[in-house]
Structure 1
Amino acid sequence: MADAARRIVELAGQALARPLPLRVRAWDGSEAGPEGAPVLVIRRRRALRRLLWRPGELGLARAWVAGDLDIDGDLYDALERLSGLFWERGEAGPAVSMAETARKLTAVLRDPVTYRAARSALSLAGAGLPPAPPPEEVRRRTGIAHTKRRDQAAIAHHYDVGNDFYELVLGPSMVYSCALWPAEDTTLEQAQEAKLDLVCRKLGLREGQRLLDVGCGWGSMVLHAVQHYGVTATGITLSVEQAAFARKRIAQAGLGDRIEIRVQDYRDVPDGPYDAISSIGMAEHVGSARYLEYARTLYGLLRPGGRLLNHQIARRPLRDEQAYEIDEFIDRYVFPDGELAPVGATVSRLEEAGFEVRDVEALREHYARTLRAWVGNLEQHWAAAARATSYGRARVWRLYMAASALSFERNRIAVNQVMAVRTDDEGDSGLPRTRAAWLS
């Protein structure tokens, strides 16, 4: 069996109704496909069984995480070439998802004519039951999404994978959200500091105010706000590992009397009102069914005149919002129960909760560059990163961050900072009349 690659390329072309845009190197050493293209390395026949039992995104993800598949060459180039198979732009934008492609592929494989023509190639996969999913995959979840207990489990899956791992990927800033890149020669650390400072200025922080940071991560936002703007701050997270790391940083900075870190759900914060609330990269975990509750909770925690800065990833709107499907790879391996909404829906929910939305700033291109920087850190420290968590987990992060960078670059997803205010009983926002004035 010295021609497995050729037979796989032929099968892929039949199933996808277009040539596979990657070269293939199979487990038998054979190669086929376009010269000069990145090489899809199929290390084990088991990869084909994963795809046959679960055609499309989830089968590919399982094969990638397990190391059955790899890319020899530029990962970004490979993903860009493959993206045409999974995301197709139509009148309503990128309405054809990987899930839809999986349905098409399943239908092709079940077609008797196609199956007879490809039967010899399908035998390459070998007989047997579907391989067990890699241990990094979230198993079947029960109960209602976005209860406090289920949210805590979801957060633990993503964030409690080792602080040493995140230090290698994120760098010294330990900020896990879109940075702000004011110049070409800006470093990742400088870009993250610029983002934190932008949030503080949008919130109008002043000495003596109280700040609540919802989803505080490893404490970078509260540290910056206290050190540079003189506030007192409370940070909340559902991640036990994040909280421990943040408390250690705060103690080392000698700021334990001005910053409190709690392992606490946003629905359980008892001690408002606050002068300002930051929520940076947290609202994606809330879920559409809970979003109005989230907005109303934060509104109730602010004093009149208090400001909210909501920094959140957004997806493109669909013509039929009922057709929206959660990405299987992201849901099983990266952000369980995470949901993206169009920025318009976010603004509407905030307004419905009582906020006046005063500013929306898109930072899409900045997130693409941030993700590429994180991928670069991961690749530079690959062996140490894999030891700090697991080989499969490191592979998950490399794939999801690289694919996300391309999605931001191609405007498939976006990220926005929404600044909103709780006006007083007379409708006064307390804001200067120009954006330049309240950002100064």
Structure 2
Amino acid sequence: MSKDLSTLTERLLSAAISAGADAADVVAVDGSSVSIDVLNGKLEHAEREEGVEIGLRVLIGQRQACVSSSLIDDPTLITMSERAVAMAREAPEDPNIGLAESDQLAKDWDVDLLELYDPSPEPTPAALEEDAKRAEAAALAVKDVSQVQSTSAGYGQRSIYLAASNGFSGGYQRSDRMLSCVAITGEGTGMERDYYGEGRVFQNDLPSPEEVGRIAAERTVARAGARKPKTGAYPVLYDERVAASLIGSLLVAANGASIVRGSSWLLDALGQQVLPDGLSITENPHRPRIAGSRPFDAEGLATAQRDIVTNGTLQGWTLDLASAHKLGMTSTANASRGTSAPPSPSLSNIALTQGTQTRDELLSEMGTGLLVTSMIGATINPNTGDYSRGASGFWVEAGEIKYAVNECTIAGNLRDMLMTIRPANDARTHLSRVVPSLLVEGMTLAGE
């Protein structure tokens, strides 16, 4: 871990206490990123960002304030501290805020076991451009692809450090690689598009550019001639690439911030069944080489594996210290924060129990209905769980895909929908959210 960030956070903590703060914590991020876009075999856009961001939260009694800066000289740190203290003195009191007690803090962790940082050399812009060009060429080589809308390659790395006046101090590094391609088939008003992209911590785990371009193209060509589906009540199969959004709606409703606000359709559901028997949702922040992993949360608490749903029954909320205090519970070590805001509850890695059937087997059993592969927009009533989303995908009859679908809406109530889900066995285990394709019975489709 960079000694510079450790020293920087301690300097700002010291300045905050000297300025009159009763307590304080500091998060510092030192990172860089580069992204390359190509079009028609030529460089279209190149961008690089790098720098240090530092954020300070001060507490005076039960009042708090946050400030941030990209300047880290001593005069700036002193000014930040003075302004934060002045802001906190004018802030409203919040009886739920505060730093962790010393016995709550993470004491020992081994960041190396998480493999969050690829030590191999940073790729050059030329290497990223070459990857993007190869992906674009692979997409254009697929029959009936009329053009490639965009192809991007990127790399990022950052060091993160957290220090607080309660004695916590620690940090870690992250890196990530990305490659994506968007292809188009058809012309004029008959154009359809689709995409494929991957992001990994380690360069060696990233698929080849040719694979990325080919899959993007094949998905796109399959959408040729898309039209509106029938209107009515039909089963809907959420493809694996969008199924996590459905489970995500449950996780948002189980977030402590939603519960504290009283704006959750799960308010009365703790200890009750929210998924079919046999299905569980597990959070594991310690999975190696996964982007969501972390050894401790943004309040210095040790992260640990936990069940959110066990055998269909909701076990608990996702909590940081403030939401836990408000609800009379214990933090689940899920605090997350940037440099300019206080902590709030946020999940790391989750996994839903996989099924035993393939996606094609579920398609066969659904008979007539909709396979959803892409979604846009969302209207979700946080209090009732009423759900409506724009969707596109494929119309299925007699268990077989018949034609591509666009411009339709799917609707239902989340509480009812989730109680009918049937998972396939096709979840990609390298993702932070491991969710397979999900078959949902009896949704309302609005099409032609």
Whether the TM-score (by the shorter chain) exceeds 0.5 is no
Of Structure 1 and Structure 2, the greater helix share is in 1
More strand by share: 2
The two structures have a TM-score, normalised by structure 1, of 0.22
Query: Could you state the TM-score of these two structures normalised by the residue count of structure 2?
Result: 0.21
